[in-house]
Amino acid sequence: MLCVVGFAQNAPKREFRGAWIATYSNIDWPNRTQTPAQQRAALLTILDHHKATGLTSLFIQVRSQCDAMYNSSIEPWSADLTGTQGKVPDPYWDPMQFAIEECHKRGIEFHAWLNPYRAAGNSNNIPSFAASHVTKTHPEWLLSQGTLRILDPGLPAVRDYVTSVITDIVHRYNVDGIHFDDYFYPSPPGAGVTPINDSASYANDPRGFTVKADWRRDNVNLLISRVYDSIKTIKPWVKFGVSPSGIYRNSTNPAIGSATSGLEHYTSLYADTRKWIQMGWVDYLCPQVYWYIGQPGANYAVVVPWWNNNAFGRHIYIGLAGYKVNDPAQGANWANPSMIPNEVRLNRSLSNVYGAAVYNTNSLRSTTKLGFRDSLRLFFYNKPALVPNMPWRDSIAPDKPSSLTAVKYAHDSVVLKWINPVTTDEMNKAWQFVIYRSTNPVIDTSLAENILHITVNDTTGYTDRSGSPDSTYYYTVTTTDRFHNESVAANMVSTLAPDIVCQPDTLLVLNTSCSAILPDFTQLAAVQASSPVTITQLPAAGTIINGQQGIPVTLIATDAGGNADTCSFLVTTVDHETPVLNAPVLTVANGGTIILSTDSASCSFTAGNQLDITASDNCDDSLLISYTLTTNGVISAPVSSNTLSGVIFSKGATLVSWTVADHAGNTATYSYTVVVNDTESPLITNVTATPAQLWPPNHKLRDVTIDYTLTDNCGGVTSSLAVTSNDPDSYRNNEPDWVIIDAHHVKLRAERTAINKERVYTIAITATDSAGNNSTASTKINVPLFPGENEGILTVKAFPNPSPGQFIIMTLSTSPKPLSIAVINNAGKLIETRNGLPSTGLFFLGNNYVPGIYYLEVKQGNSKETIRLIKLKH
């Protein structure tokens, strides 16, 4: 029958959700007639059922009457396992070891449930007990009440014995807890049954107690405190608790007991459980409140709040009477399908009640219990819960997991992986991991509704297949230790595809070859992802980019599930290389000076390409070249040209400033100064003397006019006259034979001293221009022997002089006689001769002369003129 009772109530994040598996008389398990394989299969079915219910912990009975459901060297194998006490399972197996392993595989705590004192539930069975059973090895330890036999709690040897059984289990088995049920001293006997007689034990060891009841309670106290201390010493993480009967004491005074009238274990069983929890001798109490809400004398709604108020900082779990549900013998109240759900709701409303345990397993598996198990499974226990932690035993949280990742695959499964925190401290080792899931990116780990799963062990992975394909989920994971202390949350991950953010648009500088290598930009991207991603770059790093251009670069982040995100940015190549300028043909350093001469017959220099620069660039084949000319501080307008050919440079200094720019805006400059010097001598032509003869030789000074024409390429020529004679000065009164009046006039004495020789005056004309260049010419005036006698007057002129090329020689003579010439260098070597030249005319020479000084001798009859020639370097 399925009758699910739910109704809204928020499940706590931490809750003890337990059940008892009774092995005594095979109540729940095992079936002693089955083979070991069948028994194991049956236990696995039970464990799977409890796991599906949502249970966190199980009390599995391993010692019901001083026997063992495990391999013990102290007590014999239980007849409930093999049918015969002391018989080893065949084939061999260890049920407790198997149950521990299988519980832990399912994330369920294993509490070894022991009855501390019961030795024989029915003394009629003792003859069939093993010879090693305590009833046979120590019958003096036994107390009798009807057919019940218990170990005498008043004997120190019994306390030693029971403690040794427990410490043996704790030493050898990986149990999570040791659990005692409600069997201490037996309940008061019924009519006709003789109660236990422990007078001898009391008399032998009263320990100062005058009231036997107090002594009995102290006997149990001694065992409880000793067991607790022994467990803590051996394995500090193993819990210890007791499930006494439901009523401590009946009293209208809540400081003494509850407002009830049922059997109280304080006086009937001599179990002072309130003292145990107050003294900290147990970690929890799980009173068996096997009554319904409203039950007269033992109202669940009265008993449970009383326990809540007497927790003393320890845990209270409540035993629920699942076995009574829908049992006709239990009355109509237990036919109410809401009874167990309502009791759970009441438990959850109390701050010190941390959960419940159902007695028994069969009731949870039964189909006649009005579906209370389904109410637990579908509503109360439908979300995983952490077992309540016990800070008085250990309050140190373990380290959190690290490197949590999430990968969503195409079939909507999400694979979570993390790294287990490493520690050698057993108390802080990872025992389980809690996986939280939320649709909110801020995951509240305090809410049970956000718990997706609690791992069954320290596994480091989980696959979530329960999500909606259209939802985005966020996950985190925490660590719990053996005491279920929880770490802080690991990093948060989600099912979102990776999110990648590129860097801003960037510039890439071209090299001297006008190319650049595309860098690896993947390390510069900002990526948010729930798992490791692979970042791909397009175009790939190392790609060669030529010239100035914009290159779109795309980065793709892809996780293991194939989920991807992209971002793009623009890489623009830029040219920062300045053009390279080369010196002009007339090599001159940047900032240097070039010295040139004026062109022939010109006061300036006309450039060819000898002043041009050349330029090159890494990227640009069409450079922008311009120049300016600065003369006397005046800068010309820029001229866009790569040549100075045809540009006229005036005499003096001109600063030439070149600017070369590429199309990227990079510029280079080059400048030099052009100095044009005037090296051309003035030209003296048309020389005449009037009169050309002085006659008669009357010893008088005669006025003579020297006419000539002066020309110069730059102008500014001055001239002067000088007079020489082939005849000694006049001897008359020491009077001079000539007087120079100015540059065109002289006075010459008309006389001669030699009887047979005429006097010849040579008038030398010197012309000097503004640059200091000078030239000379001459004319002759004679005083003949006889009137009309004349060898002729010879005039010779060379120009340009100095000259870097050839010389133009001009001759002018009043005589028709032919001329002869001879050229002699400065060392006196004859260089060239010519004969038979016209008396008046032009001829050229010196084009092939090496630079230096030469002397030109021109002869005509007895007349001779000598001119110094200066040959310059080209």
Domain with residue 778: its CATH number is 2.60.40
What pLDDT is attached to residue 1?
42
Considering 302-316, 558-572, 841-855, the range whose residues carry the highest mean pLDDT is: 302-316
Identify the domain containing residue 621 by its residue range. 580-677
Same domain, 743 and 795: no
pLDDT at site 534: 93
710: closest CA among 688, 684, 687? 684
Q: How far apart are CA 109 and CA 431, in angstroms?
A: 11
In-domain check, residue 422 = yes
Distance between CA 127 and CA 140 in Å, rounded? Answer: 16
Q: Which of 550, 574, 598 is the last residue of a domain?
A: 574
142 lies in a domain?
no
| DSSP string over 51-91 | HHHT--EEEEEEESSS-BSS--SSSPBPHHHHSSTTPPPSS
pLDDT at 850 over 90: yes
**Same domain for 669 and 746:** no
Return the axis-axis angle of helices 156-172 and 212-234, rounded to nearest 10°: 20
Query: What is the Cα 197 distance to its own chain's centre?
Result: 80
Give the per-residue pLDDT at 154: 98
Number of Cβ within a 10 Å radius of residue 548: 17
Residues 617 and 736 in one domain: no
Q: Is residue 340 part of a domain?
A: yes
For 492-548, the three-class secondary structure string (H helix, E strand, C coil) is CEECCCCEEECCCCEEEECCCCCEEECCCCHHHCEEECCCCEEEEEECCCCCEEECC
> Which is higher by pLDDT, 77 or 758?
77
Establish if 370 belongs to a structural domain.
Answer: yes
Instruction: State whether 241 and 269 are in the same domain.
Output: yes
Looking at per-residue pLDDT, the higher value among 587 and 738 belongs to 738
Type of residue found at 107? G
Which amino acid appears at position 666 of this protein?
Answer: N
- State yes or no: pLDDT of 260 exceeds 90: yes
Asked whether residue 392 is assigned to any structural domain, the reply reads no
The pLDDT assigned to 756 comes to 58
Q: Give Cα separations from 667 to 573, 622, 678, 773 (angstroms).
A: 18, 13, 36, 43
Which pLDDT score is estimated for 813? 82
- The pLDDT tens digits for 169-196 are 999 999 999 999 999 999 999 999 999 9
Strands 738-742 and 745-749: antiparallel
Of the chain, the percentage scoring pLDDT greater than 90 comes to 83
Taking only the tens place, the pLDDT of each residue in 484-512 is: 999 999 999 988 888 999 999 999 999 99
Ranking 74-83, 185-194, 577-586, 751-760 by mean pLDDT, the lowest is 751-760
- Work out the average pLDDT over 217-244: 98
- Cβ atoms 572, 550 nearer than 8 A: yes
Helix 36-53, helix 95-105: angle, nearest 10: 30
On the question of pLDDT at 151 being above 90, the answer is yes
Question: Angle at Cα 767 formed by Cα 766 and Cα 771, nearest 5°?
Answer: 135
- Report the run of H or E that residue 267 belongs to, with start and end: helix 265-268
- Cα 555 to Cα 539: distance, rounded to the nearest angstrom: 9
Q: Are residues 836 and 733 in the same domain?
A: no
Query: 550 and 479, same structural domain?
Result: no
pTM of the full structure? 0.67
364: closest CA among 628, 49, 97?
A: 49
Which of 339-343, 417-421, 650-654 is most confident? 339-343
pLDDT at 378: 96
pLDDT in tens, 88-129: 999 999 999 999 999 999 999 999 999 999 999 999 999 999
Same domain, 303 and 356: yes
Last residue of a domain, which of 786, 801, 827? 786
Q: What is the pLDDT of residue 732?
A: 56
Distance of CA 501 to CAs 87, 506, 528, 540, 549, Å? 72, 14, 9, 18, 23
The pLDDT assigned to 733 comes to 60
- Residue 3 reports pLDDT greater than 60: no
| pLDDT at residue 4, as a whole number | 47
- The residue with greater pLDDT, 80 or 590, is 80
- Please list the residues that pair with 527 across neighbouring strands: 500
> pLDDT band at 784, cuts 50/70/90?
confident
Tokens 């500088």 — which residue?
509
For residue 341, say if its preceding peptide bond is cis, omega within 30 degrees of 0: no
- My answer on whether 331 and 425 are in the same domain is no
In this structure, the answer to whether residues 565 and 649 fall within a common structural domain is no
Query: Which pair of tokens denotes residue 530?
Result: 């729930």
Which of residues 760, 786, 812 is at a domain's end?
A: 786
Residues 244-260: what's their mean pLDDT?
97
Average pLDDT, the chain: 93
Question: In this structure, are residues 869 and 801 in contact, taking their beta carbons and an 8 Å threshold?
Answer: yes
Comparing C-alpha atoms, which of 783, 807, 782, 785 is closest to residue 797?
Answer: 807
Better pLDDT: 562 or 571: 571
CA distance 639 to 658: 10
Give the mean model confidence (pLDDT) for residues 259-273: 97
Which tokens is 863 given? 């007349």
Q: What is the pLDDT of residues 33-44, one digit of tens each?
A: 999 999 999 999
Q: Are 316 and 354 within one domain?
A: yes
Cα–Cα distance, 158 to 153 (Å, whole number): 6
Number of domains forming the structure of the chain: 6
160 located within any domain: yes
